[in-house]
């Protein structure tokens, strides 16, 4: 189901240093075209984050239309810095009953900084996803992020998923690279591939146990000291349809 979820769905996060006390807001819109008569996707949403001590709280809300059905999603997360070597992230989210959104989901990650420089971060994650039609996904993920001397960051993750009913076991992986510097220009490339257990496509129908690929390219550009924009393109494919789209957002980061 992961490849079908909104950007709102939980992601593992790694940082080379402590999460800074941050106040920020981002508003975005996206549009995707699907082949083989699956229609177009539209999505708009807003995200905010607020740092308090060792905690970085984040919330998001999105409204969208996919497979001919409108849906809404809300989510909340907390990234907690335990000490200079360890930090965790926990997120919860829920949809409004749309078939392609979770009835609810919970994800958690534990991150450990390695090496004397703490430039390498190892991540262990677990998640639980319950769909409106009763399908359940349980996953475990292993991730790694390395922060080179600026301007490069590379990341990789593998996720093992067990979907029921049917005990459909699948796994997906992705690699990503970021070039650039915060407060200036950043370019992020990401490619994921693997298998999906279930993907709801509306009308009570689902795609089951199939391979898929997803590629994304995003530009994050600061225009002023505290604000900027992101622009990205995405391509997703599986044996049943292709999806191509774009996303644009404005963000504000306050001191």
DSSP string, 41-60: EEEEEEEEEEEETTEEEEEE
Q: Report how far residue 21's alpha carbon sits from residue 15's, in angstroms, rounded to the nearest whole number.
A: 13
Region 201-205: mean pLDDT is: 86
Report the pLDDT value the prediction gives residue 9, as an integer from 0 to 100: 38
Closest CA to 207 of 236, 240, 244: 240
pLDDT band for position 4 (50/70/90)? very low
Residue partners of 148: CB distance under 8 A and separation at least 6? 119, 154
pLDDT (tens digit per residue) in 35-73: 999 999 999 999 999 999 999 999 999 999 999 999 999
Report the pLDDT value the prediction gives residue 59, as an integer from 0 to 100: 97
Q: Report how far residue 216's alpha carbon sits from residue 174's, in angstroms, rounded to the nearest whole number.
A: 11
* Tokens standing for residue 240: 């049943």
Contact yes or no for 220/186 (Cβ under 8 A): yes
Q: Report how far residue 118's alpha carbon sits from residue 27's, in angstroms, rounded to the nearest whole number.
A: 32
CA angle 146, 151, 154 (to 5 degrees): 30
- Residues written for the chain: 255
pLDDT band for position 15 (50/70/90)? very low
Q: Which of 57 and 10 is assigned the larger pLDDT?
A: 57
Cis status, amide bond into 7, omega within 30 of 0:
no
Report the pLDDT value the prediction gives residue 182, as an integer from 0 to 100: 86
DSSP classification of residue 14: -
pLDDT (tens digit per residue) in 143-197: 999 999 889 999 999 999 999 988 899 999 999 999 999 889 999 999 999 999 9
pLDDT (tens digit per residue) in 93-149: 999 999 999 999 999 999 999 999 999 999 999 999 999 999 999 999 999 999 998
* Tokens standing for residue 17: 């240093």
Report the pLDDT value the prediction gives residue 135, as an integer from 0 to 100: 93
DSSP string, 161-207: EEEETTTEEEEEEEEEEEEE-TTSEEEEEEEEEEEEEEEE-STT-EE
Report the pLDDT value the prediction gives residue 165, as an integer from 0 to 100: 87
* CATH superfamily assigned to domain 2-254: monomeric porin ompg (2.40.160.40)
* Tokens standing for residue 213: 């690929």
First to last CA, the chain: 37
Q: Report how far residue 181's alpha carbon sits from residue 221's, in angstroms, rounded to the nearest whole number.
A: 10
Report the pLDDT value the prediction gives residue 26, as an integer from 0 to 100: 97
């Amino acid at each position: 189901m992961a490849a079908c979820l909104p950007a709102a769905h939980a992601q593992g996060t790694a940082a080379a240093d402590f999460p800074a006390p941050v106040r920020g807001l981002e508003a975005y819109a996206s549009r995707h075209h699907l082949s083989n008569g699956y229609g177009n996707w539209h999505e708009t949403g807003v995200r905010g984050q607020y740092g308090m001590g060792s905690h970085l709280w984040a919330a998001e809300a999105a409204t969208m239309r996919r497979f001919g059905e409108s849906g809404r999603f809300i989510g909340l997360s907390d990234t907690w810095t335990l000490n200079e070597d360890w930090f965790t992230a926990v997120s919860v989210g829920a949809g409004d009953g749309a078939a392609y959104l979770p009835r609810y989901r919970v994800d958690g990650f534990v991150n450990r900084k390695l090496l004397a420089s703490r430039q390498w971060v190892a991540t262990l994650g677990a998640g639980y996803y319950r769909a409106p039609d009763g399908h359940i996904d349980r996953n475990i993920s292993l991730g790694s992020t390395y922060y080179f001397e600026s301007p490069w960051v590379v990341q990789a993750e593998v996720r093992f998923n067990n979907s029921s009913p049917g005990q459909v076991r699948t796994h997906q992986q992705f690699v990503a690279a970021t070039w650039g510097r915060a407060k200036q220009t950043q370019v992020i490339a990401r490619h994921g591939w693997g298998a999906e257990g279930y993907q709801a496509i509306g009308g009570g129908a689902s795609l089951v146990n199939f391979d898929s690929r997803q590629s994304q390219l995003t530009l994050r550009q600061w225009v002023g000291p505290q604000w900027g924009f992101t622009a990205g393109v995405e391509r997703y494919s599986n044996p049943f349809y292709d999806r191509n789209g774009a996303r644009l957002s404005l963000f504000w980061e306050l001191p």
